Amino acid sequence: MAYATHPVHPTLSELMALEGAVRGLSFRTHQPLGSVLAGQHGSRLRGRGLDFSELRRYVPGDDLRQLDPRASLRYGKPYVRSYTEERDRPALVLVDQRMSMYFGSVRAFKCAVAARLAALAAWMTYRAGDRVGGLVFDDEGVEAFKPLRSRDRVQALLAQVVRANAALSADRPDRPAAALLNEALRGALVHAPHDFLVCIISDFAGADDETLRLLRLLAAHNDTVAALVFDPMAQDLPRQGRMVVTQGELQLEVAVGRQRERQPLADFFSGRLRQVADLLRRSRVPLLSFNTAEDELTQLRRELGQRQSGGRP
């Protein structure tokens, strides 16, 4: 990426500059075969809906699937129903900036990756002509932004992401992980009653049965997608050296080269990631995965089944 990136605390100017990076990217209905949003099992986003426009006489070239049998029988000539695409599909971007996101072993912290993904999702929506809103949640509460088709609304949303991100620090106390995640999801149900695109960007720490229930409720009436942010350490713990594990002011040094100490820690990290991924699969919400070691835009293109501009999809 041509812009400067901060490994922990992205600036508002950095997030605003991502508008130019989303050209060719879209949460569109018809995804390439390689996309997580394509295929069966409820993974395809519906896209914008259709509004009935008029009933009119058939003319050569009309889609035969739009024939209205009852009207055709009544008038003795073929009639078709025509539709227009809805003007927009509002989007709600949920951004996790809890203390569980204040971690990273390679390149960037999860909180920084989530902030940049939120900016990309917001700009993709805005550039598509749709309304943009969101909820930013941390260990203190949830800030909501009603969807508007406005660059100022995108800026206000991203400014709150930056404020919540800047408040994260090693001496900040941890809170029960599930409470604010589920509160944010309940807020999404209020602000996105139906026909929204809901994009949830989180590590889903503390996800439980209530999280699963809320995700299913959201997905029942909205196009909902989960962006799971994780650190590569969750998949491959270092095999030598010493590692300091922290939780706020509490620190513990672990000799990861010793099998008896490394294995339980590796099992914990990988097991928690598997549990979260399994819960998201059970919710039938399309899952996009992002690690902290790679560029966010590159990963987003890959997850959406698209390549860099000029490449074949």
pLDDT tens-digit map of 50-90:
556 678 888 887 888 888 898 889 899 999 887 655 556 89
**Average pLDDT, stretch 182-193?**
96
Is the CB of residue 299 less than 8 Å from the CB of residue 285? no
Q: How far apart are CA 108 and CA 127, in angstroms?
A: 27
Q: What is the mean pLDDT of the chain?
A: 81
pLDDT of residue 248: 47
What pLDDT sits at residue 37? 45
Question: Is the pLDDT reported for residue 311 higher than 70?
Answer: no
pTM value is 0.76
Q: What is the pLDDT of residue 263?
A: 53
Is the model more confident about 172 or about 243?
Answer: 172
Instruction: Indicate the range of 32-36, 40-44, 113-117 predicted with least confidence.
Output: 40-44
* 36: pLDDT strictly greater than 50: no
Q: What percent of the chain has pLDDT over 70?
A: 73
